Amino acid sequence: MRYLLAGASGFLGTALRVDLAAQGHQAGRLVRREPGTATEYRWDPDHGSIDPAVFDGVDAVVNLCGVGIADRPWTRARRELLRSSRINPTRTLAVALAEREDPPVLIQASAIGWYGTQRTDGPQTEDAPPADDFVGELVEDWERAAGPAMEAGVRTVFLRTSPVLDRTGGAFVPMRTAWSLGLAAKLGDGTQHMPMIGLEDYLRVVHWAVETASASGAYNLTIPQPATNAEFTDALADALHRPSLLKAPAALVRLGLGELAEQLVGDIWVVPHRLTGEGFVFTAPDVRSTIQAALRRG
């Protein structure tokens, strides 16, 4: 199959390119600079500019654009960048795909931030409304930016992704280093749910979404057996044969990180209701198998 990737230089984009090549697929890349290879195509998502010819012969467009949401404080400028880096590319692709007579499927990145961080009586599924906070509104607007494609009948799949664990990149790398040094620490009381998914299962979901003609709309990408922060802390410590005796009070985390702290000490209880209901089987369905898979890869 032929893929076209946007946002392909980050952790997930790089992993997807390697995986596609290993499986014999072709993958072109949208870039903002001058193309350096025959498989790179220039676009300007901030001004809605893209050559329609880049979609010729393409079976699937995967949009992973968006700067990291949890790697620095949410200043006013950072909030604006969090929005523009997601919404502008999504809208540009959606408008362009809406004009195609036979468009490829659009696999659109999204986030479990849709659900917020307030404690709930049960796990959140895909039919829950967006949270009334900055991240919830951001994710809602992000998905809404794909509206032109959906309204034109383009099959669109939103991957509401939780943190993806793997030793080759992402948030797992600094956590593994800290835990290896004996600095494993439960955050707050540790009872808050902590969503996650292994990289192997994340990549498998992307392929499943492309190849399953009935797949459309939003899907939660997180392990089907939810874990708490305490369970994750202990599981990673056990896997690395290190202690897990430390605790970081929630008040201290909030003091250091401000509003961003809620992504760590808030409760995010989410399950992949649609994925499991539509036949997807996870290779790492719980916290311990996810950690083992993350340590094993690479």
Q: Which of 179, 186, 176, 181 is nearest to 247 (CA)?
A: 186
Q: Model confidence over 186-220: pLDDT tens digits?
A: 999 999 999 999 999 999 999 999 999 999 999 99
Q: Model confidence over 88-110: pLDDT tens digits?
A: 999 999 999 999 999 999 999 99
Q: 174 falls in which pLDDT band (50, 70, 90)?
A: very high
Contacts of 76-81 with C-beta under 8 Å, sequence gap 24+, read 79/134
Task: Answer whether residue 176 shows pLDDT above 90.
Answer: yes
Q: Model confidence over 27-64: pLDDT tens digits?
A: 999 999 999 898 999 999 999 999 999 999 999 999 99
DSSP string for residues in 150-194 = HHTT--EEEEEEPPEEBTTBTTHHHHHHHHHTT--EEETTS-SB-
Higher-confidence residue of 143 and 263: namely: 143
| Tokens describing residue 149 | 């494609």
pLDDT in the model for residue 211: 97
**For residue 199, is it left (φ>0), alpha (ψ between -120 and 50) or beta?**
alpha
pLDDT in the model for residue 159: 98
pLDDT in the model for residue 229: 96
Q: Mean per-residue pLDDT for 123-147? A: 97
Q: Model confidence over 153-162: pLDDT tens digits?
A: 999 999 999 9
pLDDT in the model for residue 253: 82
Q: Model confidence over 229-270: pLDDT tens digits?
A: 999 999 999 999 999 989 988 888 887 888 778 888 899 999
Q: Mean per-residue pLDDT for 215-228? A: 98
H-only helix segments in 31-109:
76-98
**Strand partners for 228:** 193
pLDDT in the model for residue 297: 64
pLDDT in the model for residue 298: 52
pLDDT in the model for residue 261: 82
| Tokens describing residue 214 | 């009935």
**Alpha-carbon span 130 to 17, nearest angstrom:** 31
- % of the chain exceeding 90 in pLDDT: 88
Q: Residue ranges of the domains in the chain?
A: 2-170+196-224+269-280
| The architecture CATH gives domain 2-170+196-224+269-280 | 3-Layer(aba) Sandwich (3.40)
Q: Mean per-residue pLDDT for 163-188? A: 93
* Average pLDDT in the chain: 95
